[in-house]
Structures are given as C-alpha cells and as structure tokens.
Amino acid sequence: MVHLNDLTYCEFCDELAGVLSSRFANLYRNDLQTRVVLENDAFVALPTIGQLFAGSLLILPRRHAERLADLNADEVEQLSAFLQAAFASVQSRYVLFEHGARCVSGGGCGIYHAHLHIVPVPTHFKMEDMLPSERLRHPSLLDAWNINRVSEEYIVARDTLGTVASIDQNAIREHGFGSQHMRKLLVRHFSLNRPWDWREYKAPEQDLLQTVAARRPSNVL
C-alpha cells in the first residue's frame, strides 16, 4: 500500500505501483496485468472502473498531484499533447470533467490523485446541463486549470460542443455538489441503468475489458 501520510493513501498510486491489494488488482488480476491504454513519461490513460458508457477513460499524472491545476509547467505542456492523443482515440462525441479537490477540503470523490474523465456520450450534452449559471467560461482547459489554482476545490468541464467552463468551491458548496456529481448527472440525463458510484462495481466489466483490448498499444503488457 502506497502511503502518502499517516492518515491516507492513494488508490491510483497503489495501482500504478503494481500493489496487489489495489482495487484494480482485486477485480482484474485474473484478466489483466494493467488497464493502461495510453502512456508517456508523465501521464497514463485508463478505462474507468464503473463504465457509464463503453470507452470511458481517466487521464492521470504518474506523479501524485491532488489536482490537475497543481501540475507544474513542464507537466502542463506534456498534458496538452497527451490529451490530443487521448481525444483521437475516442471515436464519438464526448464530455470531459474533473472535480478537483485538495485532501484538506474533504471534497471530490475521496481519491486525491488528479484524474480527468473522458466520457463518450450518444447525444449532445451541453454546458447548461452540466454546470450552474454562475459558471465561468474559458478559452481552453489549460486556462480553466490555471484560473482555479487558487481554489481549494473546483469542477472543470467541457461539453460535446467544445465549450469549457468551471465553478469554484463557493458554487460547489452553494449547490451541494458532492462526490461524483458529474457521474450522477450523466446517469440522470441519459437515464442509465448503471450505478453512478464507481465503488459499486464489484466484478470485472466487459466494457472495460473490451476497451483495453481495443486500445492498448502493443508495448503495454
């Protein structure tokens, strides 16, 4: 188990370190050694445990950083190129979102290792259905993360039309947006018969296995 301090550990750091007691290993050790489908020195792409739509991915840094807004300049530059490669692998319209929270905030989903969701969706999902009216629009994801560096907690999102917006901790608390808020929205908006909580997925998912088989490069074991 990868301990960050005396109080907590990181689910993703465990997995990337190959810890056999990680949630991924417990679920998939008979099927997969890794779920990495795209990688470079700084970032990896993983199919999401709890696939709301087949092909859903997480983008996360190898280094433990609590939020994408906390990345350094070199990592941000690498992230931009990595995202372009990840977007190219998604063969349909998609939405992006990160609920970024520092551990001290107690917000987010309880895993304080930065991760961006890429979720393919069957029809358009517009920003007005994703974030409340006090959202702040941005010219790019990088701009959204830069502006939210000072916020203890934020949600950054991009809709299927390419609109990027964010809300800070004040809006999150005002509207009571809790753990996995964006996953709850997707389940409700698309009337999905799947749990919004990824922790409820207790068995290997065929959507995840098929995503790995279809997208994993030959140099990833």
pTM for the full model?
0.91
Tens-of-pLDDT digits for all 221 residues of the chain?
A: 444 444 467 989 999 999 988 999 999 999 999 999 999 999 999 999 999 999 999 999 999 999 999 999 889 889 988 998 888 877 689 999 999 998 766 565 668 899 999 999 999 999 999 999 999 999 999 999 999 999 989 999 999 999 999 999 999 999 999 889 999 999 999 999 999 999 999 999 999 999 999 876 544 43
CATH number at residue 196: 3.30.428.10
Q: Is residue 30 part of a domain?
A: no
Cβ count within 10 A of residue 111: 19
List, by residue number, the catalytic residues.
115
Q: What is the pLDDT of residue 219?
A: 41
Q: Residue 141: which domain range?
A: 37-215
Q: What is the pLDDT of residue 88?
A: 80
Q: Is residue 11 part of a domain?
A: no
> What does the chain look like in DSSP terms, one character per residue?
--BSSSS-B-HHHHHHTT-TTSHHHHHHTTT-S----EE-SSEEEEEPSS-SSTT-EEEEESS--S-GGG--HHHHHHHHHHHHHHHHT--S-EEEEEEEE-GGGT-TTS--S--EEEEE-SS---GGGTS-TT-EEESSHHHHHHHGGG-SEEEEEE-TT--EEEEEHHHHHHHT--TTHHHHHHHHHTT-SS-S-GGG--S--HHHHHHHHHH--TT--
Q: What is the pLDDT of residue 66?
A: 94
Q: Is residue 26 part of a domain?
A: no
Structural domain count of the chain: 1
Q: What is the pLDDT of residue 3?
A: 45
Q: Is residue 31 part of a domain?
A: no
Q: Is residue 154 part of a domain?
A: yes
Q: Is residue 193 part of a domain?
A: yes
Q: What is the pLDDT of residue 154?
A: 95
Q: What is the pLDDT of residue 218?
A: 44
Q: Give the sheet arrangement for strand 94-101, strand by strand.
A: 38-39, 43-47, 57-61, 116-120, 94-101, 153-158, 164-168, 136-138
Q: Is residue 14 part of a domain?
A: no
Q: Is residue 153 part of a domain?
A: yes
